[in-house]
Amino acid sequence: MADIFELFRRIGSEGPAKAAPVTAIVAGLGNPGSEYKNTRHNAGFLALDAIAAAAGVRVDRAKHHALVGEATLGGVRVLLMKPETFMNSSGDAIAPAAAFYKIPPERVIVLCDDISFAPGRFRIRRRGSAGGHNGLKSVIARLGSEEFPRVKIGVGEKPRPDYPLIDWVLGHFSEEDRRAIDGRLADIVDAVTMIVRGECEAAMNRYSR
């Protein structure tokens, strides 16, 4: 019996197990504030909310100029981020977080909207230029690298060439378009989990080809 009591004493003295360190960042891009909820530019926020819900965590702690939460995806501890800096300054939140956790660019996964794809479609890219997306421009500038994976979520093309881009991306989803995106959120969660596990090529093969 004495041995059992000694074992319990040692276990108690060790304290609770420490959480695994954060080794990746998943950041959804968008604009903070209720007036931007359900707008096309906030597709990244929608996807991040789905990831947080699947992981059973909340992204509501203010840190690094963002709302953050820690989660485990595919056995990997990640920081989930929703920058509070507005879209065009997204890198001002993501870069300091990456520096704090010592996360290299290739372990920063960015979720953003893309007008090149119809709602309900998304594409994964391992790296690349901003392609005219101001949020990605900011992340590239602040990280000093294009070598980060991104999941580009289709929000539909402008209805006509002369339609102002800013009005389009800050416009709200139609019910049909929102349903199309909601119908792919589970796939986006799966794709991001694969990327976090180091299976970016497999995720691209499954969802982007």
Per-residue pLDDT of the chain (209 residues; tens, 9 = 90+): 456 556 545 545 554 446 789 999 999 999 999 999 999 999 999 999 999 999 999 999 999 999 999 999 999 999 999 999 999 999 999 999 999 999 999 999 999 999 999 999 999 999 999 999 999 999 999 999 999 999 999 999 999 999 999 999 999 999 999 999 999 999 999 999 999 999 999 999 999 86
Measuring CA to CA, how many Å separate 117 from each of 60, 94, 175, 177, 199? 30, 25, 17, 12, 23
Pairing of strands 24-28, 108-114: parallel
Q: Which residues are catalytic?
A: 41
Q: Which domain holds residue 176?
A: 19-207
CATH number at residue 164: 3.40.50.1470
Q: Is residue 12 part of a domain?
A: no
Q: Is residue 89 part of a domain?
A: yes
Provide the number of structural domains found in the chain: 1
Q: Is residue 2 part of a domain?
A: no
Q: Is residue 9 part of a domain?
A: no
Give the 3-state secondary structure of residue 107.
helix
Q: Is residue 1 part of a domain?
A: no
Global pTM reads 0.90
